[in-house]
Amino acid sequence: MQWPRPRFLTIQKRHRVSLFSTRQWFRHVLFWGGAVGVGLAATAFALGSDQAQRLFRHVVAISPWLPLLLTPLTLAGVAALTQRYFKGAEGSGIPQTIAAIHMPEGSRRDAVLSLRVAVGKMLLTCVGLAGGASVGREGPTVQIGAALLYNLRWLIRFPRHLMERGLIIAGGAAGVAAAFNTPLAGIVFAIEEMARSFEERSSGTLLTAVIIAGLAAIYVQGDYTYFGATDAALNGASGWLGVLLCGLAGGVLGGGFSRLLLAFSARGLPGRAGILMRAHPVGFAAVCGLLLAVIGLASGNAVYGSGYDEAKHLLEGSGEVSAAYGLWKMLATFVSFVSGIPGGLFAPSLSAGAGIGQAVANLVSQADPGALIVIGMAAYFAGVVQAPITAFVIVMEMTDNHGMVVPLMLATLLATAVSRMICPKPLYKALATSYLARVQPSGRDDAETAIKKGPA
């Protein structure tokens, strides 16, 4: 009679084979190298976009009227290149990444996460910033990071759960972490916004990618906080009144922004104007560029680019920013986004939120204005994307102000609740559904079912 082999010996042997497996170690090293690549790509993107914005500021310094010519030409050129060579690179990049998670494995997913689209996303976003577009680089970095890790599968086969969604989610989260130097926000964003669920099998992959990408970015840029450190704090009942006002304003304005953006994305302009827009997207981008330049003139040239400098000036109290800056920035971001060029909403939304916080601080004069500006950033961002945990975590990490956790949580939860009354569908999820409906023949109903059901 042959006795069964003890189970613990089988487990020991399996672990020993796994530990000394050359293929397993090659897979790990390859993945770590890919995460380093995400960090370095995010850093290169950051440096390139900063240089592009400096270039545009030099143009405005020569004459504030030059954007009336330069901005329409730039947006039209970027739209033409996107339509002709980099289809799938338009817009933020987050909806495309979410849509890719829910696509079946095949040519459509490969197309939206191709390295060609990733390179085009990076270059064209920088060109748009050099022309004055009110866009950010952080959303595009999500698609770039997802594409870099997803394309590792051509070099070696990964386990199925990683092939389906793990590499995409980990790459997107690593992109957020490296772009802002906010590792915790990268993880929270992946769970709350991209995946909407958390799988134990992919948790180690996600954490490893975020840590390695973040370390790679820090190695090049140094350990920094995105907007610098602030010790602003609430004081007294007036401060909490400001929190409630920021939450309400962020929810109303953020929800309204998302509702208009989704309505425009779904239907476009009415009548002949809408027909011309769909038939001539490059010409429409030029019109958007002209409108953006006019908004720039009306706002005193304050709304161009990501808005990083203006938000930092508001936080530090080191520069003159108009009381209506938040509304001007919202309008400029809307026009830039609907033009169809590559570019994200993260940084412009945070900047507009800082302007909203400043407006609330002018109403509640007894409260610390720096504290309300921080809360305004988080509240408006939460109102736009309806991801409250990501909003307060990312602002807390970006300003290195952990003492504001409770008011940030309250403001973002309130803003999200108000925003959902105005715009029932979360922005990125709705845009992902629209994108999925356009690229696959099954139509919009099947796209909505796929987004709700989960990954393919």
Q: Is the dihedral of CA 311, 316, 319, 321 positive or negative?
A: positive
For the chain, which residues make up each domain, given as ranges? Answer: 28-221, 236-428
Determine the angle formed by the axes of helices 427-439 and 369-385, rounding to 10 degrees: 30
Fold identical between 28-221 and 236-428?
yes
How far is 288 from 8, CA to CA, in rounded Å? 67
Q: Is the dihedral of CA 414, 418, 419, 425 positive or negative?
A: positive
Residue in the structure block whose two tokens are 């908004």: 295
pLDDT tens-digit profile, the chain (456 residues): 455 544 444 444 444 445 556 767 677 777 788 888 888 888 899 899 999 999 999 999 999 999 999 999 999 999 999 988 888 888 888 888 888 888 777 778 888 889 999 999 999 999 999 999 999 988 899 999 889 888 887 777 766 666 667 778 888 888 887 777 777 777 777 777 666 544 544 566 667 777 777 777 777 776 666 666 677 777 777 778 989 999 999 999 999 999 999 988 776 666 666 676 777 889 899 999 999 999 999 998 999 998 888 888 888 777 677 888 999 999 999 999 998 899 989 889 999 999 999 999 888 877 788 889 999 999 999 999 998 888 888 888 887 777 788 899 999 999 999 999 999 999 989 898 888 887 766 655 555 555 555 554
Size of the chain, expressed as the number of residues it contains:
456
Other Cβ atoms less than 10 A from the Cβ of 227: the count is 25
The dotted CATH code for 28-221 is 1.10.3080.10
The dotted CATH code for 236-428 is 1.10.3080.10
The answer to whether the beta carbons of residues 295 and 328 sit under 8 Å apart is: yes
